Homo-oligomer: A and B are copies of this chain.
Amino acid sequence: MEILQVEAPLVCTQRVSGLQHVALKVLRNVKTGMRQVAVDPVGCREGNWVFTSLGSAARYAAGEYSVTTDLTICGIIDYWEEEAS
């Protein structure tokens, strides 16, 4: 499960029906600078360090298998040193 930092909510009006009304967050890999979009069933805030599940596990983690995501936040890390990520 990848370790990423929450950057911002994602606003997306036109989406496939499979995404339903799930909350979406933009996450950032601080090491590579790459951003990704993830489903957030946990309720994260900007700046939180989280870890995510990819692939079919992301649908299970979203709480409903029919959500067509490939990345879902699985938990907020209690303590993480930014410089170590």
Contacts and interface: CB of A to CB of B under 8 A. Distances in A.
Nearest to A13: B78
Interface residues of A, number: 49
B68 A19 contact: no
Contact of A54 (B3, B31, B63, B70): B70
Interface string A35-79: 111100110000000010111111111010010111111111111
Contacts of A11: 77-79
A42 B15 contact: yes
A68 B42 contact: no
Contacts of A74: 15-16, 18-19, 68-69
Contacts of A53: 68-70
